[in-house]
C-alpha cells in the first residue's frame, strides 16, 4: 500500500508540473514596447516601420523591401512573417538582402531571409518565416525582432513579457580585442567592448574613459594608442551594446596617419586601462592586455643583422643617439640591429630598426635619415649587392641608385662612391 501511494504521489506531482508548465506557456504574452530604426533615418529613401516598408533609391539601384510588421501582442503561438525584396540594377553591381534576427524567439527557419545580386531587368525574391516566443522567457524579460536590410538599416521591435518587472541585471563589460598587436602595422585594429546591464530609464549616459591616455588621440606612455573615449545616451540602445575601440601600436609609418608623435611601443607585454560606468547603475574597470610584436620579426622573409664596416673594423651602423651613425658599439645595443625586410616583388629591402620598430633608413629628404616612412617610398628601399670582396656588400638606394652608404668622410652618409672604397663595403652579421 505504501509503495502504491508513493507512486501515485509521484505521478500526481509530474502531472502537476506539466500542467503548471503548460499553463505558464499558455499565459506567455509579449507586448510591443518600442520600435527603433537604426541608424536614425534609416536607408537613403523611405523607412516605415508600421507598414513594413523600406524603399532605397540611389544612383546604383532601386530597391523595394516589404515585410510583415510583427503584431502589437505575441502569444505563445507566435506570428508569421513574409519578407520580400524587389530590385532593379541601375549602375554597377549591387547586392540586395533582407533578413531577421530575433533573440528571445525561436525562428522557423532558423536563418530566414533573401539575398541576391540586383539585375538590369529587375528581380525579386520572397521568404516566409514563423516567430515563436522562447518558452523559457520569464515575466519582465525582453525579446526583440530585428528586420535588417542592405544598405545597413535595421528596424528593431522590442517586446517585454507581460506579468512582471524587468529582472535586475548586473552591469558588465567584456571585449573582443586581440591579444597580439603588430607595431607599426599598415592599419589600425578595430575591436569592441560589449556593455550589458545598463539602464535606459535614466538621463545618465554610459561613459567610457581611458584614464591613462596622454592626449586626445588616445596615446599612452607605453606607445599603445586607443581611440574610443566618450559617452552615449542609452535610450535607444540594445542590450548588450557594442562600443568600438581603435587600437594601434606606435610609431606609425608616414602612410598611416595615427598621430603617434614621438610615442614608441616596446615589443612585449603592454597594458591599457579602460573604465566604463553609468551613474547609479554600475562601474567596471578592465585592463586590456596586449603582446606588442615587432613588425616582420621572425617571419615574412626578413632577417635581423648587424651592419659593420669593412674599412673601420668594429664600427657598426646604429641609432643609439637618434640619428643614424657608424661607430663602435656595445654588443647589447639593439640600436645596432636591423631587420632586412624584403619589398614584395622586387630585389630590394627596407632596413628597419629592430630596436624601434617603424623606424627605417631612407633618403627621402636628400640625406640619410632614420624615421617613419611611406610604404611606397623607393627612397626607403635598398639594394644589397655583393662587392668584389667575398662576404662584403654595397648598400645602395633604389630611388637614387648612385647613392650608397659609406663612411669615407668619417661619418655615415649616402652618396657617390668609388669602386675601390672599403668605406662603402659592409659586413652583415646575423
Give the domain CATH number at 242. 2.60.40.10
Task: Say whether both 275 and 386 belong to one domain.
Answer: no
The answer to whether residues 38 and 156 belong to one domain is yes
- Please indicate, yes or no, whether residues 153 and 220 belong to a single structural domain of this protein: no
CA 376 to chain centroid? 25
Q: How far is CA 419 from CA 183, 306, 349, in A?
A: 38, 23, 22
**Residue 316 within a domain:** yes
Q: Among 121-125, 236-240, 299-303, which stretch is predicted with the lowest mean pLDDT?
A: 299-303
Same domain, 233 and 328: no
Peptide bond into 109 cis (omega under 30): yes
pLDDT band at 7 (very low <50, low <70, confident <90, very high): very low
Q: Which of these three, 293, 321, 352, is where a domain ends?
A: 293
Domain annotation covers residue 204: yes
Q: Does residue 11 lie in a domain region?
A: no
Is 12 within the bounds of a domain?
Answer: no
Sequence-distant (≥ 6) Cβ neighbours of residue 330 within 8 angstroms: none
Q: Which of 228, 120, 162 is nearest to 30 (CA)?
A: 162
Q: In angstroms, rounded to a whole number, what is the distance separating the alpha carbons of residues 72 and 105?
A: 15
Question: Grid coordinates in use for 77?
Answer: 503561438
Element (H, E) at 430: none
C-alpha–C-alpha distance, residues 255 and 123, integer Å:
43
400: its cell numbers:
637614387
pLDDT of residue 23: 44
Q: What is the rounded average pLDDT of the residues 36-48? A: 72
Task: Give the span between the Cα atoms of 166 and 1, in whole angstroms.
Answer: 48
Number of domains in the chain: 3
What confidence score (pLDDT) does residue 253 get? 67
DSSP 8-state secondary structure symbol assigned to residue 92: S
Cβ of 195: how many Cβ atoms within 10 Å?
25
Rounded CA separation 47/67 (Å): 12
Split at pLDDT 50, 70, 90, the class of 215 is very high
Sequence-distant (≥ 6) Cβ neighbours of residue 168 within 8 angstroms = none
CA distance from start to end of the chain: 91
Instruction: Show the beta-strand stretches assigned E in 230-358.
Output: 230-232, 241-249, 268-278, 282-293, 303-309, 315-318, 325-328, 338-342, 349-353
Contact between 246 and 190 under an 8 Å Cβ cutoff? The reply is yes
Do 154 and 46 fall into the same domain?
Answer: yes
> Rounded to an integer, what distance in angstroms lies between the CA atom of residue 119 and that of residue 92?
10
Distance CA 423, CA 409 (A): 9
- For 88-125, how does the pLDDT look when each residue is reduced to its tens digit (9 = 90+)? 988 878 889 999 999 999 999 998 999 888 888 888 99
In terms of domains, do 73 and 135 share one?
Answer: yes
Q: Which of 135, 161, 187 is the last residue in one of the domains?
A: 161
Q: Are residues 35 and 156 in the same domain?
A: yes
Does the pLDDT of residue 239 top 60, yes or no? yes
User: Is 339 domain-assigned?
Assistant: yes
Angular region, 427: left φ>0, alpha ψ -120 to 50, beta rest: beta
Residue appearing with cell numbers 512582471: 164
* CATH, residue 319: 2.80.10.50
> What is the length of the chain?
430
Q: What is the pLDDT of residue 15?
A: 36
Range among 157-161, 304-308, 411-415 with highest mean pLDDT value:
411-415
pLDDT of 302: 65
Within a domain: residue 5?
Answer: no
Q: Taking residues 254-262, what's their average pLDDT?
A: 70
Of 294, 286, 293, 289, nearest to 177 by C-alpha is 289
Q: 147 in helix, strand or coil?
A: strand
The candidate with the shortest Cα–Cα distance to 335, out of 302, 311, 359, is 359
State the residue range of the domain holding 110.
29-161
Task: Look at residue 121 in the predicted model and tell me its pLDDT.
Answer: 86
Q: What is the side-by-side strand order in the sheet with 189-196?
A: 172-175, 189-196, 241-249, 224-227
Average pLDDT over residues 40-61: 79
Round to whole Å and give the CA distance between 207 and 219: 19
What is residue 129's three-state secondary structure?
Answer: strand
Where are the extended beta strands (E) located within 142-199?
Answer: 142-149, 153-161, 172-175, 180-182, 189-196
pLDDT at residue 409, rounded to an integer: 96
- The distance from CA 164 to its chain's CA centroid, rounded to whole angstroms, is 39
Is residue 309 domain-shared with residue 390, that is, in the same domain? yes
Are both 279 and 313 inside the same structural domain?
A: no
Q: Is the pLDDT of residue 8 over 70?
A: no
* Dist. CA 87–CA 242, nearest whole Å: 31
What is the Cα–Cα distance from 223 to 214, expressed in whole angstroms? Answer: 10
Q: Are 238 and 104 contacting, i.e. CB atoms less than 8 angstroms apart?
A: no
Out of 107-111, 248-252, 418-422, least confident range: 248-252
Instruction: Quote the pLDDT of residue 254.
Output: 56
Q: Which residues contact 373 (CB under 8 A, 6 or more apart)?
A: 253, 254, 350, 360, 362, 364, 379, 380
For residues 418 and 385, give the distance between their C-alpha atoms in angstroms, rounded to a whole number. 15
| DSSP structure string for 190-206 | EEEEEEES--SSSSPPE
Cell of 248: 594601434
- The more confident residue out of 25 and 175 is 175
Amino acid at each position: 500500500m505504501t509503495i502504491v501511494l508513493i507512486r501515485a504521489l509521484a505521478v500526481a506531482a509530474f502531472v502537476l508540473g506539466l500542467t503548471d508548465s503548460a499553463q505558464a506557456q499558455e499565459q506567455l504574452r509579449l507586448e510591443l514596447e518600442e520600435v527603433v530604426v537604426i541608424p536614425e533615418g534609416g536607408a537613403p529613401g523611405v523607412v516605415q516601420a508600421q507598414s513594413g516598408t523600406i524603399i532605397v533609391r540611389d544612383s546604383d539601384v532601386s530597391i523595394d523591401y516589404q515585410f510583415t510588421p510583427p503584431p502589437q501582442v505575441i502569444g505563445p503561438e507566435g506570428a508569421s512573417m513574409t519578407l520580400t525584396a524587389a530590385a532593379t540594377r541601375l549602375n554597377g553591381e549591387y547586392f540586395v538582402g533582407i533578413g531577421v534576427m530575433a533573440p528571445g524567439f525561436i525562428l522557423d527557419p532558423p536563418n530566414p531571409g533573401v539575398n541576391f545580386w540586383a539585375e538590369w531587368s529587375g528581380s525579386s525574391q520572397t521568404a516566409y518565416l514563423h516567430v515563436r516566443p522562447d518558452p523559457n522567457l520569464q515575466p519582465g524579460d525582453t525579446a526583440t525582432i530585428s528586420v535588417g536590410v542592405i544598405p545597413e538599416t535595421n528596424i528593431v521591435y522590442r517586446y517585454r513579457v507581460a506579468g512582471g518587472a524587468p529582472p535586475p541585471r548586473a552591469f558588465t563589460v567584456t571585449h573582443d580585442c586581440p591579444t597580439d598587436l603588430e607595431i607599426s602595422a599598415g592599419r589600425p585594429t578595430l575591436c569592441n567592448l560589449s556593455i550589458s546591464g545598463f539602464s535606459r530609464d535614466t538621463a545618465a549616459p554610459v561613459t567610457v574613459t581611458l584614464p591613462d591616455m596622454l592626449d586626445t588621440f588616445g596615446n599612452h606612455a607605453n606607445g599603445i594608442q586607443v581611440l574610443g573615449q566618450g559617452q552615449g545616451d542609452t535610450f535607444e540602445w540594445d542590450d548588450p551594446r557594442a562600443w568600438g575601440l581603435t587600437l594601434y601600436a606606435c610609431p606609425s609609418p608616414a602612410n598611416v596617419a595615427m598621430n603617434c608623435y614621438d610615442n614608441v611601443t616596446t615589443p612585449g607585454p603592454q597594458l591599457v586601462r579602460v573604465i566604463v560606468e553609468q551613474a547609479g547603475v554600475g562601474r567596471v574597470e578592465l585592463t586590456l592586455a596586449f603582446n606588442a610584436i615587432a613588425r616582420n620579426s621572425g617571419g615574412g622573409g626578413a632577417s635581423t643583422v648587424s651592419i659593420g664596416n669593412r674599412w673601420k673594423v668594429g664600427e657598426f651602423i646604429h641609432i643609439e643617439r637618434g640619428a643614424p651613425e657608424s661607430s663602435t658599439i656595445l654588443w647589447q645595443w639593439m640600436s645596432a640591429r636591423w631587420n632586412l625586410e624584403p619589398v614584395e616583388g622586387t630585389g630590394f629591402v627596407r632596413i628597419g630598426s629592430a630596436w624601434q620598430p617603424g623606424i627605417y633608413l631612407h633618403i627621402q629628404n636628400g640625406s640619410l635619415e632614420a624615421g617613419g616612412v611611406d610604404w611606397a617610398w623607393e627612397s626607403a628601399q635598398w639594394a644589397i649587392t655583393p662587392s668584389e670582396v667575398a662576404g662584403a656588400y654595397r648598400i645602395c638606394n633604389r630611388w637614387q641608385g648612385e647613392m650608397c652608404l659609406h663612411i669615407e668622410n668619417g661619418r655615415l652618409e649616402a652618396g657617390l662612391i668609388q669602386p675601390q672604397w672599403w668605406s662603402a663595403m659592409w659586413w652583415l652579421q646575423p
